[in-house]
Amino acid sequence: MPDIDGFIDRAMNKISAIDDRINSSTFGRVFRLDGSGHPKTVRGSSFFREIRAGLTTFATMAYIVAVNAAVLADSGGMCECPAGSEPGCPGDPDYANCQTILKRDLITATAALSGLSSIVFGFLTNLPVSLGPGMGLNAYFTYQVVGWHGTGMVPYKVALLAIFVEGWIFVFLALTGMRQWLVRMIPATIKTACGVGIGLFLTEIGLSYSAGIGAITGGFSTPLTIGGCPAEMWIGIFVGGIFVAFLMAFKVKSAIVIGIGIVSIMSWPRNTSFTYFPYTEAGEERFQFFKQVIAFHPIKTVLNAQDWGLGGAAGAQFGLALVTFLYVDIIDCTATLYSMAKFCGVVRDDGDFPRSTLAYCTDAVMISIGSLFGCSPVTAFIESGAGIAEGGRTGLTAISAGVCFLVCLFFAPILASVPPWATGSTLVLVGCLMIRQVININWQYIGDAVPSFVTLAFMPFSYSVAYGLIAGMMVYVVLNTMIFFIVWVTKGRVTPSNWEEKEVYDWGLGSRDVPHWIKRVARRVMPGRFETNSQKDAVELVDNESAMNAATETSSRRHSGDEHKDLDILESHPQARMRHREHDLPSLN
């Protein structure tokens, strides 16, 4: 009888040996794997663990390929309604065929963009965070800015140009430290409420007809009403919703992908009441493309589709789109990226994390590149937390997930055949995940609670993320100004209930908001002028021998023209390193 246990042990030992060999190689040193010998080794990281974490991240993120394409296709893209037709061209077969091609283009674009951005971000920042078109941002792009089938305020091509310019503005803000400061200008309770409001917004979309299960629709006497009981709705609810929630209860990492896959497979047979390939012209066209199974679909309509002609009304439309995207993205993109870095455990005591400026710049550049692919803004995905929970600690996790997205490029016929009722419940579940942070809102003090509630409630009911944020900020400023005026006039004798529970609002620009590269340049131009007292004490208060060695090394580096790094010198002297810890110096690397 074969020795199964012995075979497994030998296989595991072999894998462990390969793992150790890769960790200690030059490849492992590049990503600072545990055992690589790098001075800043990421403890607990290993090659196979990072690969496994990357596969986990992809499994939880894979749904965006189909969902993002379905949502963005509702914008109409480059499709145009014939003259004299109704707004949105409902029931027009030519427009429907154009949308089918558009959805296939967006599947290719989403997979390529997610793969490229995750690989580049992982390599440059060494963070286990994957990027892709944001799920809340795509809804805002489609249903608020461009509008359903192009019926909104801004044309599709002008909106893409606004995203392209926005990305480069973000690069400037990141390089100067203004991006972090602008985020701090938004009260913490409002930022939390924005995430909850976006979750409710996604839930509403998931329940609707266009990109959801069709449970609700617009009513006559009421804003919303029940949308009927089609067969596909029940498939989406029970298999795509309840069954997926059941899997999530047992922490099945790829639960969402499994649900989408099962509903899609159930919807492919043609002789059912909920088939995605009915015997109609549109259904037949979809079925012919589906039969190719494996094929690369080149982007035909949305690649480099920006409209650079900003004369007349287009200029005003561009300005409106740019301002609204900047306003929304500055919170969504920056806050999500910071949250993932904090989940990794790499955020320092000063509130920053390693390579933060490079991380923010990479994210910003990918926003501009995403517009060239015809997509809404790129952001860090909260699903990256699944890979981090699986043990991912380095950029290899993001790179592994990115490679998986690139593989998806050759399965466009299958991914294009995912029906909206397969992804509708997914949006509801994502909304459920996002709304959990509602407990972090400060409900104790009315000056924080009311603006937060207005923010999260106004987003789904106005069908706009930006309007919800504007409404919440307006209420926050007016209400708290009135309260502060009464407290100031009475010199603190009259205060509102739970005044001591209010969140501290700190919007001032301080040294913590200045990127480290600017600090290093400033110290080289005017040495000693920008040193803090704790940095001076760290060298001055050590014993004479260590102080002499540190001063000698500092002088030699300055005269030789080498880059002067205070922390490198401090770390080279044991006593200086001790004083560095005592005075809690910020890292200069």
**How far lies 147's CA from each of 139, 151, 504, in Å?**
10, 5, 38
Q: Which pLDDT belongs to residue 201?
A: 82
Write out pLDDT tens, residues 408-419. 888 777 877 888
Question: Cα Rg for the chain, rounded, in angstroms?
Answer: 27
Say how many CA atoms lie within 13 Å of 267 toward its Cβ.
Answer: 30
Other Cβ atoms closer than 10 A to 16: 12
Contact residues for 341 (Cβ-Cβ < 8 A; gap 6+) = 127, 129, 347, 353, 356, 359
Q: Is the separation of the CB atoms in 227 and 216 below 8 Å?
A: yes
Q: Give 78's pLDDT tier (boundaries 50, 70, 90).
A: confident
Cα distance between residue 588 and residue 571, in whole Å: 12
**How far lies 444's CA from each of 164, 458, 474, 490, 498, in Å?**
41, 21, 20, 23, 7
Write out pLDDT tens, residues 549-575. 544 444 444 444 444 444 444 444 444
The single-letter code of the amino acid at 409 is L
Nearest C-alpha neighbor of 306 from the set 370, 255, 245: 370
Cα distance between residue 537 and residue 533, in whole Å: 6
Q: Is the separation of the CB atoms in 167 and 327 below 8 Å?
A: no
Write out pLDDT tens, residues 391-446. 788 889 999 999 989 988 887 778 778 888 887 888 888 788 878 889 989 999 99
Q: Give 210's pLDDT tier (boundaries 50, 70, 90).
A: low
Q: Is the separation of the CB atoms in 197 and 456 below 8 Å?
A: yes
Cα distance between residue 27 and residue 22, in whole Å: 7
Nearest C-alpha neighbor of 94 from the set 305, 282, 299: 282
Nearest C-alpha neighbor of 78 from the set 162, 135, 155, 153: 155
3-state DSSP assignment of residue 224:
strand
Q: Between residues 156 and 331, which one has the greater pLDDT?
A: 156
